[in-house]
Amino acid sequence: MTAHGDTHEHHEPGLQHQFEDMHQQEESVSIGMWAFLAQEIMFFGGLFTAYLVFRWRFPMAFAAGSNHLDEFMGGLNTLVLIVSSLTMALTVYYAQKGNRTLQVVMIVLTMLFGATFLGVKAIEYTDKYNHGLVPVTGWNKKVKEDVSAPHVTEQDCTQVGHGDGDDHYVNPKGEFQWKDCSLVKLAQDHNYLTEDEKIGYFTNGEIDANKFRDKVRLFYYIYFVMTGLHALHMIIGLGVMLWLLWKAWIGTFGPKYYAPVEISGLYWHFVDIVWIFLFPLLYLLGRHFLH
């Protein structure tokens, strides 16, 4: 129960008209932020559900797709975000202490880490674009066929190894490309295939490269939607930090008023935590099938 004082004649800095005192205001914005984060969990929850359903159905396709993500880049980004969470937490700490300089420094650092994350993500996306791993037709780099090059005979897809065929890569329409179904063969030999996979990868009992490609494409679709929405949240987070930087610069926050820093921090940590779930699910699960 919130205790209301008498109506204040003198307004505390940052106290909005609908509130009686700072305590009530802080409690309100903090509950509001938590409710918003609950909403965010359900929002991403729909995507995680979709991921789980299809991972359950087509584990080999997901493992294959997963293997083509750069775990070094993903790991680096995880590290970057964890450190940014630290600097964010320090921002809140210095705001409470009223230390303007260190507050500003920490905000700048947090933003730097956030930007680094997005930069690394951009490099990864570009790599996918160059290798025909964007699931949308026409959104990959278009590579014309080189007529002078020696003609390469179509290989059986189970024979295509990791990294093969880079020197004669052709993709005139910018389509999603996936040639390697060695994992299906492996799983078939070891009797790993799920019921859905036995239907989903095969035509007349033969491994069907196109059908397998479509399942890997599903993985990349989910990968791009999940990381894309996450990146969008990062961009919004950077916008919030910019606003915070300005507010901190003019010395708004101190021991009495730091709620905006605190709830921005909550948001930032939330976006980090989403990544903490995305990284193992997308980059790590299933890697052992090849290594």
Partner 1 sequence: MQEVSAISGNSVPADEPKLNYINNGHTLKSWLLTKDHKRIALMYLVSVSAFFLMGGIYAGFIRLELLTPASDLLETATYNKVFTQHGILMVFFFLIPAIPAILGNFLLPLMIGAKDLALPRINLLSLYIYWIGGIITLWALMQGGVDTGWTFYTPYSTTFSNSYVMAVGIGVFINGFSSILTGLNFIVSIHTMRAPGMTWFRLPLFVWAHYATSLVMILGTPVVAITILLVAIERFARIGIFDPAIGGDPILFQHLFWFYSHPAVYIMILPGMGVISEVIAGFSRKRIFGYEFVAFSSIAIAVFGFLVWGHHMFVSGQSIFAGLVFSFLSMVVAVPSAIKTFNWTATMYKGSISYDTPMLYAIGFLGLFLIGGLTGLFLGSVGLTVHLTDTYFVVAHFHYVMVGGQVIAYLAGIHYWWPKMTGRMYSEFWGKISAMLIFVGFNLTFFPQFILGYMGMPRRYASYPEELQVLNIFSTAGASVLGFGLVMPVVYLIHSLFYGKKAADNPWMHPGLEWRTSSPPPTENFKEMPVVTWEAYDFGEESGLDLEDARKREAVTI
Strand segments, DSSP code E, in the chain are 202-203, 206-207
Number of H helices, E strands in the chain: 8, 2
**Contact flag: residue 54 with partner 1 (CB under 8 A):** yes
Q: Looking at 14, 15, 22, 50, which residue binds partner 1 (CB under 8 A)?
A: 50
User: Are the beta carbons of 168 and 144 closer than 8 angstroms?
Assistant: no
Q: Please, what is the minimum distance in Å from the beta carbon of residue 248 to partner 1? A: 21
**Contact flag: residue 57 with partner 1 (CB under 8 A):** yes
The vertex-231 CA angle with 58 and 213, nearest 5°, equals 25
**Contact flag: residue 277 with partner 1 (CB under 8 A):** no
How many residues lie near partner 1 (CB under 8 A)? 48
- Which amino acid type is present at position 51? Y
Region near partner 1 per CB under 8 A, out of 1-9, 65-73, 97-105, 156-164:
1-9
Q: Please, what is the minimum distance in Å from the beta carbon of residue 47 to partner 1? A: 6
- Which amino acid type is present at position 128? K
Q: Say which residue the tokens 């995880």 belong to.
A: 78
Dist. CA 125–CA 179, nearest whole Å: 20
> Site mask, partner 1, residues 187-226, x = CB under 8 A?
---------x---x----------x--xx-xx--xx--x-
Dist. CA 85–CA 117, nearest whole Å: 12
Under the rule (CB under 8 A), what is the footprint of partner 1?
1-4, 6-7, 16-20, 24, 27-29, 31-32, 35-36, 38-40, 42-47, 49-50, 53-54, 57-58, 135-137, 176, 196, 200, 211, 214-215, 217-218, 221-222, 225
